[in-house]
Chain A
Amino acid sequence: MSKLLEVRGLTKRFGGVTAVSDISYDVGAGEIIAVIGPNGAGKTTLFNMISCFLSPTNGEVYFKGNKLTGQKIPQLAHLGISRTFQNLQIFHNLTVLENVMMGAHVKLKTNVVNAAFRLPRILKDERIAYDLALDAIHLVGLEELMFEQAGQLSYGLQKQLEFARAIVYKPDLIMLDEPMAGLNDYETNRMADYIKKLKSEGSSFLFVEHKMATVMELADRIIVLDFGKKIAEGTPDEIQQNAKVIAAYLGEEVV
């Protein structure tokens, strides 16, 4: 399997605290990788370093063989990486449709000048964005709410909206930061279905999650962090049997 994302020795120190220490792993094309670990294990820090929100103290990330570390955030979408946020970042004052249309930005060539003079390109772009957005809205089943303001939606629906916005332009790698957090069982299952459906269409996923049942169901491979270190990597079955993982989650027996 070809390597899509390569993480090589990522380390992050905040003053004297080492939040993430020397972590390496790969994400192959069409794979779903989950990163799990107890609270404070450094999952989100790792996530933010891969998506260029934080610069690592040491180590590099490569995407399709090119160095990703040090890129500007907007560049990532152009390379084919999209992400969602743990604390939802949707556009509250835009409608659901407009939110999802924003996700098509990398496919468009509209700028302030050609918009001001309404050149033909604008109308073509509107059409492209609208068509792509409709497909994504159709996937997550938000058609009925297309013209509602996104801020009016319930938390679960906003989460689906953010997901739809992230997948509009059919990125190669989709990074989800706790996609199931705060969702009820029904919504969790639906989100898992979307992820499986997109995987079957060739997308890769890297996600951080706390709900173990979903992680075990979805992930091809799991990476377990504890105190900033990678303590295990393997298939869901292997991880469930791993003594170190059990110790990290449940604590060790004091002899």
Chain B
Amino acid sequence: MSKLEKILYGNRLKPILFLVGLILILPLVVKSPYIFTILILIGIYSIVSLGLCLLIGYAGQISLGHAAFFGIGAYTSGVLTTSFELSPWIALTIGMVTTFFIAYIIGIPILKLKGHFLALATLGINIIFYILILGLNQLTGGAAGLIGIPSLSLFGVPLTDKLFFYFFVWTAAVLVLLLSLNIVRSHVGRVLRSIHDSEIATETLGVKVENYKVAIFALSAAFASLAGSMYAHYITFVAPPTFYITKSILFLIMVMVGGASSVWGAILGTTVIMFLNEIIRFVGHTYFGISGEVEIVVYGLIIILIMMFLPKGLIHVISKPIQKLKPKKKVSVKAHKDMISQKGV
């Protein structure tokens, strides 16, 4: 890592190593297959929330339709591997590429909208997709869903074993994290945050704002599609309710709770919400005798509380004390003064 990178963005090696360490250690500690399933789902959903974090937290564009892109991936994989008997890997790739282009084409007109108009437009995408998968009976199995989606296999080893699939999912998640970090820790990251703050000023500096917004929208959709394909191959069954608006909102809540202004927040938020989900279901079921989707009620409350008291998300609670521990500012100013003197300015 160059000195300049450290000055501009701080260290990224330590948190990555921490995450990788955690991923490696957890299978040794966790024995319950139930928790393991949740860990796998966290990995899958983290891929979606990472993309969404780039779009919402950095570029400042909202999307309430990412469940549709998640669904396009899942259904492309499902349909191509069952009806057409393609290799799951080819299906996954086709899904990602298709989703990228669909999102790109949709993105060109709708990203001209701002704020709640954009939210409504993306909500519309989700509804259209939902009705399509319900209606295209012959292809998608309609309301009954698609069954018998094959599992993934890697170098001849089927990933039906939870441990293998766990490592596979988290490898993909870490790769997506690295791509996202690369984007964020470059001039593009600054461009995206500038668009968030003032589109008009960004344009006058020579940035073709439209292109950046559409590119990030399509990229985040492609991430969602990748996650969707993995989901389909893991659960081996897909049905329309999984890809309804409530899922889009869930993705949004994950990003918001974790902290949209940091890619680390996306993973943190996904983890917190997934475990909370299980706790709420358990408590609701055993102590109150409620069945059905009670968690959505609690999510509503959580998002209100987070927006009121922690607008920067949970990641802020963690990162702030760490930053306070280091006398970062003084070191940085000194470092840049050294650089100035080197340059002879």
B343 touches A (CB below 8 Å): yes
Q: Which residue of A lies closest to B218 (CB)?
A: A112
* Contact (A146, B333) CB under 8 Å given A93-B197, A116-B179, A138-B340: yes
In angstroms, Cα B207 to Cα A73, docked, is 9
The digit string for A116-137, where 1 denotes a CB below 8 A from any CB of B, is 1110001101110111001100
Let me know if A134 and B182 touch, CB within 8 A: no
In angstroms, Cα B205 to Cα A85, docked, is 12
B198 touches A (CB below 8 Å): yes
Output the least CB separation between B260 and chain A (Å). Answer: 12
Let me know if A125 and B212 touch, CB within 8 A: no
The digit string for A89-113, where 1 denotes a CB below 8 A from any CB of B, is 1111110011001110110101110
In angstroms, Cα B189 to Cα A144, docked, is 24
In angstroms, Cα B91 to Cα A160, docked, is 54
Let me know if A123 and B2 touch, CB within 8 A: yes
Let me know if B182 and A118 touch, CB within 8 A: yes
Let me know if B187 and A110 touch, CB within 8 A: yes
In angstroms, Cα B212 to Cα A105, docked, is 13
Let me know if A77 and B197 touch, CB within 8 A: no
B200 touches A (CB below 8 Å): yes
Let me know if B204 and A90 touch, CB within 8 A: no
Residues 186-201 of B contacting A (Cβ, < 8 Å): 186-191, 193-194, 196-198, 200-201
Let me know if A91 and B193 touch, CB within 8 A: yes
Let me know if A129 and B187 touch, CB within 8 A: yes
Select B212's contact among A106, A112, A144, beta carbons within 8 Å: A112
Select B194's contact among A73, A102, A131, A138, beta carbons within 8 Å: A102
A82 touches B (CB below 8 Å): yes
Q: How large is the interface on A (under 10, 10 to 19, 20 to 34, 35 or more residues)?
A: 35 or more
A243 touches B (CB below 8 Å): no
Q: Which residue of A lies closest to B199 (CB)?
A: A89
* Contact (A77, B204) CB under 8 Å given A91-B194, A93-B193: yes
Let me know if B5 and A126 touch, CB within 8 A: yes
A249 touches B (CB below 8 Å): no
The digit string for B156-194, where 1 denotes a CB below 8 A from any CB of A, is 000000000000000000000001001100111111011
In angstroms, Cα B328 to Cα A15, docked, is 56
In angstroms, Cα B4 to Cα A98, docked, is 13
* Contact (A91, B4) CB under 8 Å given A115-B183, A134-B339, A144-B333: no
Q: Which residue of B lies closest to A89 (CB)?
A: B201
The digit string for B193-223, where 1 denotes a CB below 8 A from any CB of A, is 1101110111111111100100110010000
Chain A positions near chain B (C-beta within 8 angstroms): 51, 72-78, 82-83, 85, 89-94, 97-98, 101-103, 105-106, 108, 110-112, 115-118, 122-123, 125-127, 129-131, 134-135, 138, 143-144, 146-147, 165
- The 6 A-B residue pairs whose C-beta atoms are closest, nearest first, are A77-B206, A89-B201, A91-B197, A115-B186, A110-B187, A106-B206
Can you report 29 residue pairs joining A to B where beta carbons are below 8 Å apart? A72-B208, A73-B204, A74-B207, A76-B206, A77-B204, A78-B206, A82-B205, A90-B201, A93-B197, A94-B190, A94-B193, A97-B8, A98-B8, A101-B187, A106-B205, A106-B206, A115-B186, A115-B188, A115-B189, A122-B186, A123-B2, A123-B4, A123-B5, A126-B4, A126-B8, A131-B343, A134-B339, A143-B336, A143-B340
Chain B positions near chain A (C-beta within 8 angstroms): 2, 4-5, 8, 179, 182-183, 186-191, 193-194, 196-198, 200-209, 212, 215-216, 219, 261, 329, 332-333, 336-337, 339-340, 343, 345
